[in-house]
Structure 1
Amino acid sequence: MISIVICSADQTELSKVSENIHDTVGIPHEIIAIDNREARCGICDVYNEGAKKARFDLVCFMHEDIEIRTENWGSVVKHIFESDPDIGIVGVAGGGYKSLAPAGWYQLEFHSEERSYQNVLQGYKFDDKQEIHAYHNPRNERLSRVVCVDGLWFCTRRDIALRFPFDGKVLTGFHGYDLDFCLSVFPHYKIMVTYEVLMKHASEGNFNRQWLDHILKLHKKWSYALPLTTSVMRGNEMYDIEKRSFERLIEQMMRWKYSYWKIQTMLWHSAKTKQMSTRVVFKAFRHLLKLHLHILPFPDGQRNGPTTA
């Protein structure tokens, strides 16, 4: 009934999650675990290989550092897809707004309930924090429609995974694959977050420069189609979101010593948008120029601008 694809880098973790899946999935299944310890292929190539090997009509892509707590979750997923043929992706965390400014699925500058829908027990590996139950269901729904989902766990139809393969040419590492897949599918199918499947995720992800490098590649590809939203945007709300997002991004890129040319190139790619006025990109360029020329003080007091590629 469901094929479960895992890109494995740790045999101990794989053994644990495989046992957990067998104990909880509740329907006929197969685990397609691809050992990537030596090959170190990008996750897009691994997932495409897994989708081709899948025997069942539903395919679940998941990390191996997960413990699913919901019994018979396979039946929940199967029922969701059977209930609506227009549903193409189901995850447990996602965002209802995908910005034009390069970012992940969670839009911090979007001060609205639409920015996240999730039901995940979140552990922390990189930060010294206690596990939290990240639950956000603002409309008390069984399913919430979103633009994109988090890659820790998501399910799709096998024919969709084959029709919209993961882009291993643009994304050669382990970041951005979930957003890219969702942006391919979004114009054709509904993307949903379910609150009926609960799992613990051991790692919060590492949102560092390597992650941002992949996000910049992703946005070079998709800027023409962004921003996207599943909510009604009022007045200048979208413009204000993007203005804040670009300013925050520019400041972060300067802290991480991206070159002025690299930041400017990011803005040029963003100007390809067909979804909103490029006025916001022009404003972002002015913000960059003022910081670069020290006309504006840097927010954290730093004065040194970008220096490297």
Structure 2
Amino acid sequence: MLSLIVSSYQQHYFEQFSENVKATIGDDFEYEIIQQWNPSVMGICEAYNKGAEKAKFDNLLFVHEDILFETKDWGSILIDYLKSDNVGCIGLAGANYIPNTPSPWWVIEGYANSHLSHFNKKTNKRYNYTFEAKENGLLNSKIIDGVFIAVKKTVWKKVKFNEGLKGFHGYDIGFSIAVSQIKQNYILNKISLVHYSSGNLSKEWLESVIKAYSFVEKAKTKIDNKLELVCFNYFADQLRYLGFAMSDKTEYLNQFISYKKLGLKNWLKAKRKIKAIKKYNN
């Protein structure tokens, strides 16, 4: 009933993950785990597409190997949600707004939610996040975090992961936004897991997010001018702190500043932000 697809490069994590799935997914629940061994030999988009091609079930779950499920019988819970014809992606974290500026979901204030636990290996601390939802446990979303992306195989076939992204970042943004153009994405608070990574914001990460944005058409939605400025400023700061050359910073900031999205007042503030970054170039 469910094919779990993992782009894997840490065998000890994969073995731990496989045992955890066996113990939690549900007795007599039909599933398979497709380990696409990938120690940086291909981008995650290619790995996920190769794995999905091998899948024998109609329901797919693209998932990281450094996680542990805590909900019992979660397989049946997930399948029940995937039955609806209008469902696109189901995730555990994401945002129900697509900013004009390339942005991670957690920056999209007022639209971002997650039902995840993160374990920081350095501090040995666990951080739990969740959200309130209607009785069905779902919230509408557009962008889905890549730690857990469930989708029907028929939907994946229409969109697939864009193999123009060669690395290991941005794939979730590109895929979930593309799916949101044809179906409704959701995030769910009925399946709990622990993720043993908090992510790594790097220059490569931001370059991938920028590229992911170039591949998708963003649907026309109600514009939140205030939020657009928040995302633009975050984007500008990341370009600065992650070591982009001044020429690249100028190109990207001019590319993504939008009078229509920001409105006059915020557009002027964004222009001042660009001026400040040029002045304090480092």
For residues 87-106 of structure 1, the aligned pairs below 5 Å read 87-106=87-106
Give the partner amino acid of 1:71. K
2:6 and 2:34 in contact (8 A); partners too = yes
What is the number of equivalent residue pairs in this alignment? 279
Tell me how far 1:261 sits from its aligned partner. 2.1
Q: Equivalents in 2 of 1:89, 1:10: separation in Å?
A: 26
Instruction: Please name the residue that 1:305 is paired with.
Output: 281
2:45 and 2:162 in contact (8 A); partners too = yes
Instruction: Please name the residue that 2:23 is paired with.
Output: 23
- Please, what TM-score do these two structures have when normalized by structure 2? 0.90
Q: Does residue 115 in structure 1 map to residue 116 in structure 2?
A: no
Q: Does residue 10 in structure 1 map to residue 4 in structure 2?
A: no
2:225 and 2:263 in contact (8 A); partners too = no
For residues 154-193 of structure 1, the aligned pairs below 5 Å read 154-169=149-164, 171-193=165-187
Q: Equivalents in 1 of 2:79, 2:241: separation in Å?
A: 46
Instruction: Please name the residue that 1:276 is paired with.
Output: 261
Q: CA RMSD in A?
A: 2.4
Secondary structure at 2:243 match in 1: coil
Structure 2: gaps spanning 5 or more residues:
none
Q: Equivalents in 2 of 1:166, 1:128: separation in Å?
A: 34
Tell me how far 1:71 sits from its aligned partner. 1.2
Instruction: Please name the residue that 1:254 is paired with.
Output: 240
Specify whether residues 57 and 272 from structure 1 end up closer, same or farther in structure 2 by C-alpha distance, changes over 3 A only.
farther
Q: Equivalents in 1 of 2:253, 2:132: separation in Å?
A: 34
Q: Equivalents in 1 of 2:124, 2:62: separation in Å?
A: 27
Give the partner amino acid of 1:167. N
> Which string of whole-angstrom CA distances, capped at 9 and with x for unpartnered residues, describes residues 140-164 of structure 1?
7511111111111121001111211
Q: Equivalents in 1 of 2:241, 2:262: separation in Å?
A: 28
1:96 and 1:145 in contact (8 A); partners too = yes
**Segment drifting more, 205-214 vs 59-68:** 205-214
- Please, what TM-score do these two structures have when normalized by structure 1? 0.82
Task: Give the counterpart of 1:35 among 11, 31, 37.
Answer: 37
Question: Which consecutive segments of 4 or more residues in structure 1 shift more than 4 A?
Answer: 138-141, 277-283
Q: Equivalents in 1 of 2:107, 2:168: separation in Å?
A: 20
Secondary structure at 2:106 match in 1: coil
Specify whether residues 129 and 252 from structure 1 end up closer, same or farther in structure 2 by C-alpha distance, changes over 3 A only.
farther
1:119 and 1:195 in contact (8 A); partners too = yes
Tell me how far 1:291 sits from its aligned partner. 3.6
Tell me how far 1:78 sits from its aligned partner. 1.0
Identity %: 24
Give the partner amino acid of 2:154. D
Q: Does residue 225 in structure 1 map to residue 218 in structure 2?
A: yes
**Segment drifting more, 257-266 vs 195-204:** 257-266
Instruction: Please name the residue that 2:127 is paired with.
Output: 132
Specify whether residues 99 and 285 from structure 1 end up closer, same or farther in structure 2 by C-alpha distance, changes over 3 A only.
same
Tell me how far 1:2 sits from its aligned partner. 0.6
Tell me how far 1:269 sits from its aligned partner. 3.3
Task: Give the counterpart of 2:191 among 193, 197, 200.
Answer: 197
Q: Does residue 70 in structure 1 map to residue 56 in structure 2?
A: no
Structure 1: gaps spanning 5 or more residues:
294-303
Tell me how far 1:93 sits from its aligned partner. 1.2
Tell me how far 1:276 sits from its aligned partner. 3.4
Give the partner amino acid of 1:115. A
